[in-house]
Amino acid sequence: MTRELTEITVIGGDKTGIVAEVTSLLFERGINIEDIDQAVREGLFRMTMHVDTAEMVCTEGTLKDALSDLADELGVEIQVRFPADRETKQIAVLVTKESHCLEALFEAWANGDLGADIGVVIGNHDHLEPLAEHYGVPFHDIGDEKGSPDEDQLLGLLEEYDVDLIVLARYIRILGPNVVFRYEDRIINVHPSLLPSFPGAAAYRQALEEGVRVTGVTAHYVTTDLDQGPIITQRALDVPDDIERDELKQRGQPLEAEALLEAVKLHLNDDVTVHRGRTSLRDDSDSEQYQLGLSREAIDATPDRPIDGKADVLRSDDSEGNGNADETEEAVPTDD
């Protein structure tokens, strides 16, 4: 049975003693730490803990107050998210100029298929403001004339709209650790390649230049390492001879929207978990409702013969027939 764990995130300057102070406070209140992860980027420290508060010897309010006082004492920021903090989660969608992923999210939301509210759309250009207005969602442009975003303004908006999940709907900008650390495992991006192949910019062009026959798209959690976060869903597409980059991109866009939308639903339904950089479906999730990778048709079309083993069977039959069953061959290591 899956336990609902409280998430505690500590953000601040990198200095000694933070981990000991926070973990000691939790221990004193009967709180068990189930998972802990730490990182430092550009002098910024982040610690994320998932803790079991089912048998803690204080109220939720008392714990929040105690952690707030400790944060002031240490000069850090401490966020606490209890499992039942909100029934309807709030999504912030970050965009640049491409609309297809935002359209898919809006359509699912309008049809009641999303499982959360899109509270705000934030862009580094104002190109998609009319689409947000069409759905009655506030739009904020945080980019300068070159499209460079103001991350302080971004953080202020995320706090103002009390955001639970950030969705990068073809947001063509890299988020800094100041944002990523505060929303660990709560930022989902879609990248136009089968990661880890072709990370970074111009992924479709990279695929064409490398001459691959199959490429695809990947929805993944965002980390401070570019396009290396835990993979949630992927889709594959064929790369025909002589196809141009624009046509390949056009073929990939519907798959980008589909993979991103499914990844968002997996997250919102709490059907996916992240452990040591890898995602997996929870034991109690309905795996049949998701297409994490290839379609059922593609899986059924995959050949299932030949496979290793026939030589071993023949060798065994030969050994039995010639009375050589006791003869053994030195094992040869493989790459498995």
227: annotated active-site residue: yes
Among candidates 18, 67, 44, which has minimal Cα distance to 181? 44
Rounded Cα–Cα distance for residues 165 and 228 (Å): 19
Q: In this structure, are residues 192 and 256 in contact, taking their beta carbons and an 8 Å threshold?
A: yes
Rounded Cα–Cα distance for residues 74 and 76 (Å): 6
The catalytically annotated residue of 141, 185, 227, 271 is: 227
Q: Are strands 187-191 and 165-168 parallel, antiparallel or unpaired?
A: parallel
Scanning the structure block, which residue is given the tokens 């930022």? 187
Helix, strand, or coil (residue 90): strand
Rounded Cα–Cα distance for residues 320 and 325 (Å): 6
Q: In this structure, are residues 183 and 161 in contact, taking their beta carbons and an 8 Å threshold?
A: no
Quote the Cα angle for 281-38-84, to 5°: 50
Among candidates 271, 286, 203, which has minimal Cα distance to 239? 203
Q: Which helix (H) or strand (E) holds 43?
A: none
Helix, strand, or coil (residue 11): strand
Just list the catalytic residues. 227
